Structure 1
Amino acid sequence: MILRALAIFATIGPAAAQNLPPADVYVIGEIHGNPAHHATQARLVAHIAPRALVFEQLSGAQADRISPDARRNAATLGPLLDWDESGWPDIALYAPIMAAADAPILGAAGEAGDLSAYDLDTALPAAEQQEREALQAAAHCDALPTDLLPDFVARQRAIDAQFAARTLDALDRYGAPVVLITGNGHARTDWGVPAAIARVRPDLRVVAIVQGEGEPTVPGDIVLQADAPPRDDPCAAFR
């Protein structure tokens, strides 16, 4: 469901956070590695005060290592979660999000479990399939063989369903609201985690917040903008 869109540059302030619509689930997107996006996620989590906090970046086994008395700072969480081996940006970007609420931390990654309720075997409309394949090609620097693109689309659909299932597990276990921290591609309202949740639990109120870097973004209920940090061209090696 599309509630509204807000264009806010830099970090979100207290007044903007207080304008969040009520929801059972907040899906807060990011461009991985943008410090402003992660700072905004921490501010939003502090305002929402979720009953559970679910991370794309963690498996269930990793999240289980975070005991209630563990210090939620980078020095503690980095070694505890084997973060340097994870491939994700610096733990210093994510630790403040984990520390922004006292809620249990859960992982969305890992074993998928039963996803049959999400109709993953149903073919997508042709136009959507084509658009998804084009996005996968662009995301991989147009270096993928075209015959692999349908498999990458199917994998993305399965990941969205898995993240939705893990988020709903957290909601059923701890109550509302629950926050999912994830990339913008999973936060998009048209076919990401919010759409997967709507397929199996249409009664729930889900608010998706996506964050851009000044350019048009994927669809979201709320759109926030921040400056892009300096970064190398990820496709340079393919040229």
Structure 2
Amino acid sequence: MAGADVLFIGEIHDNPHHHVRQAELTAAAAPAALVFEMLTPEQARAATPELMGDADALGAALGWAETGWPDFSMYAPIFAVAPDARVYGAAIPREAARAAMGEGVVAWFGGDEAARFGLDAPLAEAEQARREAVQLAAHCDALPGEMLPVMVEIQRLRDAALARAAAAALAETGGPVVVITGNGHARLDEGAPVYLARALPDATIRSYGQAEDGRLDGRFDATGDSPAVERDDPCAAFAARPTE
């Protein structure tokens, strides 16, 4: 991972082992900037240098408890090991995502910006179908067919937003930049690094993915593995519904 201008570090959001490794890699990278999938740009501006090592005060300033992400205690060490880093947010709230789908993601993102990051380029038919199948499985086979292209577009929009935040962070701080995000967004074959490489072809981009019990989809420069955590079956509620 050494020498990266931008380093994406993936995670499964509720796995505490993954956040420990993120903090270790962030400390080693000594980033000038941190980009978080979990924060909006407005929230990120609340992460001032004097708060970076105070987990309680920082969590409160960010309004983390209201975000729906796992407990801030898992993320706080990442901020603490980079106390001088400038913090950026790339989250697109649900209301904004709905607005983007209504307006069209290219128009909402900005036509020139969409072209710069490649968001305006349609996926090949086979790739579109594959991603729709992934979304269907991820949503317990419970999404209506007409929603699948929408979910794929939202995923691509979030990838492009992460890439744009990383590009801004690199331009404004000189880097290195560490991006904290889910494994799916950190993938070199389809995630945010694809969009960033389109916009910054000369940047050195690296990605680290984190598996659970050896299971990890996608391509990364390097990977780590941790034990899976116990969690409820997200599809159990659908299975329990009575059929007509």
**TM-score of the two chains, using structure 1 as the length reference:** 0.88
Structure with larger RCO (C-alpha < 8 A, sep 6+): 1
1:97-146, Cα deviation, whole Å (9 max, x unpaired): 11111211111124775332223232211121111111111111111101
Q: How far off is 1:80 after superposition?
A: 1.3
SS in 2 for 1:237: helix
1:80 maps to 2:79: no
Instruction: Kindly report which structure 2 residues correspond to 1:41-60, keeping only aligned pairs within 5 A, or say none.
Output: 41-60=22-41
Maintained 8 Å contact 1:50/1:101: yes
Higher helix share: 2
Maintained 8 Å contact 1:25/1:207: yes
Q: How far off is 1:27 after superposition?
A: 0.4
Provide the rounded CA distance (Å) in 2 between the counterparts of 1:133 and 1:113. 22
Where do 5+ consecutive residues of structure 1 fail to align? 1-19
Provide the rounded CA distance (Å) in 2 between the counterparts of 1:38 and 1:89. 11
Q: Which residue of 2 aligns with 1:175?
A: 174
1:55-111, Cα deviation, whole Å (9 max, x unpaired): 011111111112221243331122211111101000000001111112111111247
Paired-residue identity, %: 48
Instruction: Kindly report which structure 2 residues correspond to 1:145-224, keeping only aligned pairs within 5 A, or say none.
Output: 145-214=144-213, 215-224=215-224
1:189-229, Cα deviation, whole Å (9 max, x unpaired): 01111111111111111001010102143211111110011
Provide the rounded CA distance (Å) in 2 between the counterparts of 1:71 and 1:44. 17
Q: Which residue of 1 aligns with 2:87?
A: 105
Provide the rounded CA distance (Å) in 2 between the counterparts of 1:129 and 1:33. 28
1:158-206, Cα deviation, whole Å (9 max, x unpaired): 1111110011000000012100000001000011111111111111110
Q: Which residue of 1 aligns with 2:99?
A: none
Maintained 8 Å contact 1:77/1:91: no
**TM-score of the two chains, using structure 2 as the length reference:** 0.86
Provide the rounded CA distance (Å) in 2 between the counterparts of 1:126 and 1:98. 41
Instruction: Kindly report which structure 2 residues correspond to 1:14-33, keeping only aligned pairs within 5 A, or say none.
Output: 20-33=1-14
Q: Which residue of 1 aligns with 2:16?
A: 35
1:24-83, Cα deviation, whole Å (9 max, x unpaired): 100000001100000000000001000101101111111111222124333112221111
Q: Which residue of 2 aligns with 1:4?
A: none
Provide the rounded CA distance (Å) in 2 between the counterparts of 1:217 and 1:155. 19
- For the aligned residue pairs, the C-alpha RMSD in angstroms reads 1.4
